Amino acid sequence: MSVNIKKLIEEAKLNPRTFMISGSYVGVVSFSAGNVRKEGMEAIHDPIADNRYHGGVFSTKRSDGRLSGSQKSYLTRIANLLTGPEGYKSKDA
């Protein structure tokens, strides 16, 4: 799973919201790396050519690093919706 690392963005004195929507993404959520680690996942800094704040979330339980269905469900439960597609209603609304 591709992520932007808020801590690195803030350390660079940038606004994390400027990184929220780009390309064809349908929504943005936030969750803590600590919660990710509790469920056998790891969040790592993995910069790419056009985004030095890029990171990834990977499973430590699978040799290929892919997230399991239960890990994806867990992320869905702990995620805070920051923005979604037009007309989207969050489960908390």
The answer to whether the beta carbons of residues 1 and 44 sit under 8 Å apart is: no
Mean local confidence (pLDDT), 44-73:
93
**Can you tell me the distance from the alpha carbon of 70 to that of 91, in angstroms, rounded to the nearest whole number?**
19
Mean local confidence (pLDDT), 45-72:
93
What is the tens place of the pLDDT at every residue in 18-54?
776 655 556 677 888 899 999 999 999 999 998 899 9
Q: Is the pTM of this model over 0.85?
A: no
